[in-house]
Structure 1
Amino acid sequence: MTNAHTTEIGILIYPGCQMAAVLGLTDILREANRMAQEKLPRRSSALLQVSHWEREEDDALPRRIFASGDGAPSPPAVLVLPPALEHKISPEEARSYAAWLNALHDKGTTLASVCGGALILGETGLFKGRTVTTHWAYRDIMRARFPEAILDTDRLMIDDGDIFTAGGVMAWTDLGLTLVDRFLGPTVMMDTSRLFLIDPPGREQRYYSAFAPNFTHGDAQILKLQHWLQNTQASQTDLSSLSRVSGLEERTLLRRFRKATGWTTSEYVQRLRVAKAQDLLQFSNSPADRIAWDVGYQDPSAFRRVFRRIVGLTPSDYRRRFAG
């Protein structure tokens, strides 16, 4: 049996999950445990144990198929739902895990998801009223499946105590280091970060995300306006012009635009312009002030404020980080 003070972190293997994340997270946690044990030479048992859980049959409950130490009969302290690459798990598939996950949660297990793993975790009902994140490309499907969740895909990691959610496909590295920090402390976390040459937690997903407007909402007049804004690079954004193009009365336009896209017209235009500015910062040598003018801002300082609010970096920092 494991030592009473050993913490078990389980990882669920489900159809289509990214095995690189399963194995990589296992490596991070096992190496962190090794380094923690070196700092406590009298400790013979593990501080962290990693386990893998999988169904043997379609209708069976998942069970441990691997443990890095002696398998314990009690539930893991944390269970991680890793990302998937091409496979977007269906609501029916995801619901088949919900009762088991809720039972673990009721016994004190912290549940964690990375990227598409949120599509499973959300079916437990535990997202209701919580702020959660996932990969920015899953925004629309998450809003459709879990409307009671507060979705913030600008954030790469959200620690809500008994629920962790992480954003992009590679955010399992951030989750791994966050778990190391929680259970083994910041010194071991920083040592692990240096060993694997990965940034410690603190990055933001919005540095990497692209503006991906919803064009499948079914409102033909709003869709016409979206295409017009895209084609004209949002050169005209006064409400009277938007109303004229859409053929809608102004108050009706504002209400229907937000319902269809999830944004106000001004927020949508700002994000459309910033997305164009990101392209120009990456792939042109134009100075930032010229780019501000090219995307529709006459005041460069106003452009910088909007850019930093949306992207999380200044235009110059963004160019240094991402320009080829």
Structure 2
Amino acid sequence: MKNVSILVPETAVIEAVADPHYMCKAVNQFLEASGKQALFNVELVGLSREIRLENSLFSVHTDKLLNEVKKTDLIFIPAISGDIKTALELNKEALPWIVDQYNNGAEVASLCIGAFVLASTGLLEGKKCSTHWLHSGLFRTMFPGVELVDGSIITEEQGLYSSGGANSYWNLLLYLVEKYTDRDTAILASKYFAIDIDRDSQSAFMMFEGQKDHSDDEIRKAQEFIEANYMEKMTVDTLADMFNIGRRSFERRFKKATDNTVVEYIQRVKIEAAKRSFESSLKNVNEVMFDVGYTDTKAFRTIFKKITGLTPVEYRNRYNKQAA
């Protein structure tokens, strides 16, 4: 029997509390139906007996207070909502408990931006992590010692798990089901919950918003120029000359400010424009390619798939039903 503790943080997203509970209970039912023993003993745990969420629209009653949980095998940290820094402050008293349980052998899984809570424990220092793509900039600023894996659905390192944005946590739940049971049970759960069991990237859902929350005015102007002129050909040398900065210094400052190389930034801006065109127009791949400043079909397709995880045609067919 695996003891599963679902932490109910202040400001938790209610679905991210209920869904792992539902998954564990369903897996127990699948196992019992096949003549096996139930595997998961699931409890909701927290800093108080009752936790009100979403302006008291929901009220969650925990099974145990944290200090009543002596030993657990797996901790789920659900996504939090609202202002992230405020939420972390409200839940800081739970952090030592997470650390103690991990040091005592428990594994810990964060769901979506529950990664901010997990990172606040210090356990992720020097390790890999996933979170919602929308909050990646803030995460990197707050936890520079954690290696954030862009676009990843699931990361695992030394008993610490994390998932990508929003519903991506279902893939982490399936991953853990397979780890703790077997492939057949995980496939059954994937069919029951209608989830693509082997989806491993959130890249197709990511919207690129250039990181401009920095103090380098010249680099910000360079970003704005790239975004306004993505349809044109541009090189690192021409951009550096335009802003009267040496190439090496320009590249170093650009990477420090935006967490992208100049070439990566240009590519991501162009591909974001291509994605919008595929979503909203009936243009073919070559027309979109030329619109965003590419002339080499192979290069465009390669870069598009690298960034989105899909080919241009696959992306258009998924997000533009009229074109499909």
Q: Do these two structures clear the TM 0.5 threshold for a shared fold by scoring above it?
A: yes
Given that 1:132 and 1:158 are in contact with CA atoms closer than 8 Å, whether structure 2 keeps it comes out as: yes
Given that 1:177 and 1:200 are in contact with CA atoms closer than 8 Å, whether structure 2 keeps it comes out as: yes
SS of residue in 2 equivalent to 1:241: helix
Which residue in 2 is equivalent to 1:308?
305
Task: In structure 2, give the amino acid aligned to 1:101.
Answer: I
The CA distance in 2 between the partners of 1:121 and 1:234, in whole Å, is 41
Listed as ranges, the gaps of 5+ residues in structure 2 are 51-60
1:187 aligned onto 2:184: yes
Which residue in 2 is equivalent to 1:79?
75
1:54 aligned onto 2:51: no
The CA distance in 2 between the partners of 1:93 and 1:86, in whole Å, is 12
Given that 1:157 and 1:174 are in contact with CA atoms closer than 8 Å, whether structure 2 keeps it comes out as: yes
Which residue in 2 is equivalent to 1:213?
210
Offset at residue 205 of structure 1 (A): 0.9
Task: In structure 2, give the amino acid aligned to 1:77.
Answer: D
Given that 2:9 and 2:80 are in contact with CA atoms closer than 8 Å, whether structure 1 keeps it comes out as: no
Q: Give every structure 1 segment of 4 or more consecutive aligned residues whose post-TM-superposition deviation is greater than 6 Å.
A: none
Offset at residue 79 of structure 1 (A): 0.3
Offset at residue 202 of structure 1 (A): 2.3
The CA distance in 2 between the partners of 1:232 and 1:19, in whole Å, is 43
> Mean Cα displacement is larger for which, 146-155 or 84-93?
84-93
Residues 161/219 of structure 1: CA separation in 2 closer, same or farther (3 Å cut): same
SS of residue in 2 equivalent to 1:8: strand
What's the CA shift string for 1:52-79, capped at 9, x where partnerless?
Answer: 1111289xxxxx9238xxxx96522110
Offset at residue 86 of structure 1 (A): 2.9
The CA distance in 2 between the partners of 1:97 and 1:65, in whole Å, is 14
What's the CA shift string for 1:27-54, capped at 9, x where partnerless?
Answer: 111111100111125x4xx311211111
Offset at residue 208 of structure 1 (A): 0.6
Given that 2:49 and 2:62 are in contact with CA atoms closer than 8 Å, whether structure 1 keeps it comes out as: no
Alignment of 1:81-100 (within 5 A): 81-90=77-86, 91-100=88-97
Aligned match of 1:243 in 230, 240, 243?
240
The CA distance in 1 between the partners of 2:72 and 2:170, in whole Å, is 20
SS of residue in 2 equivalent to 1:52: strand
SS of residue in 1 equivalent to 2:225: helix
The CA distance in 1 between the partners of 2:91 and 2:230, in whole Å, is 40
Offset at residue 218 of structure 1 (A): 1.1
Residues 86/80 of structure 1: CA separation in 2 closer, same or farther (3 Å cut): same
Which residue in 2 is equivalent to 1:23?
18
Q: Please report the TM-score for the alignment, with normalisation by the length of structure 2.
A: 0.89
1:317 aligned onto 2:314: yes
Which residue in 1 is equivalent to 2:293?
296
SS of residue in 2 equivalent to 1:240: helix
The CA distance in 2 between the partners of 1:195 and 1:220, in whole Å, is 52
Task: In structure 2, give the amino acid aligned to 1:84.
Answer: I
Task: In structure 2, give the amino acid aligned to 1:176.
Answer: L
1:38 aligned onto 2:30: no
The CA distance in 2 between the partners of 1:142 and 1:14, in whole Å, is 19
Between the two proteins, the alignment pairs up a number of residues equal to: 307
Residues 9/89 of structure 1: CA separation in 2 closer, same or farther (3 Å cut): farther
Which residue in 1 is equivalent to 2:58?
none
The CA distance in 1 between the partners of 2:69 and 2:209, in whole Å, is 45
1:132 aligned onto 2:133: no
Structure with the bigger RCO (C-alpha within 8 Å, sep 6+) is 1
Aligned match of 1:143 in 134, 140, 144?
140
Offset at residue 229 of structure 1 (A): 1.0
The CA distance in 2 between the partners of 1:95 and 1:263, in whole Å, is 32
Given that 1:234 and 1:269 are in contact with CA atoms closer than 8 Å, whether structure 2 keeps it comes out as: no
Aligned match of 1:8 in 3, 20, 26?
3
**Alpha-carbon RMSD:** 2.0
Task: In structure 2, give the amino acid aligned to 1:47.
Answer: L
Offset at residue 123 of structure 1 (A): 1.4
The CA distance in 1 between the partners of 2:249 and 2:118, in whole Å, is 37
Task: In structure 1, give the amino acid aligned to 2:80.
Answer: A
SS of residue in 2 equivalent to 1:170: helix
1:286 aligned onto 2:278: no
Aligned match of 1:232 in 229, 233, 242?
229
SS of residue in 2 equivalent to 1:9: strand
> Mean Cα displacement is larger for which, 290-299 or 87-96?
87-96
Task: Give the % identical residues.
Answer: 25
Given that 2:43 and 2:63 are in contact with CA atoms closer than 8 Å, whether structure 1 keeps it comes out as: yes
SS of residue in 1 equivalent to 2:123: coil
Given that 2:4 and 2:40 are in contact with CA atoms closer than 8 Å, whether structure 1 keeps it comes out as: yes
> Mean Cα displacement is larger for which, 105-114 or 72-81?
72-81
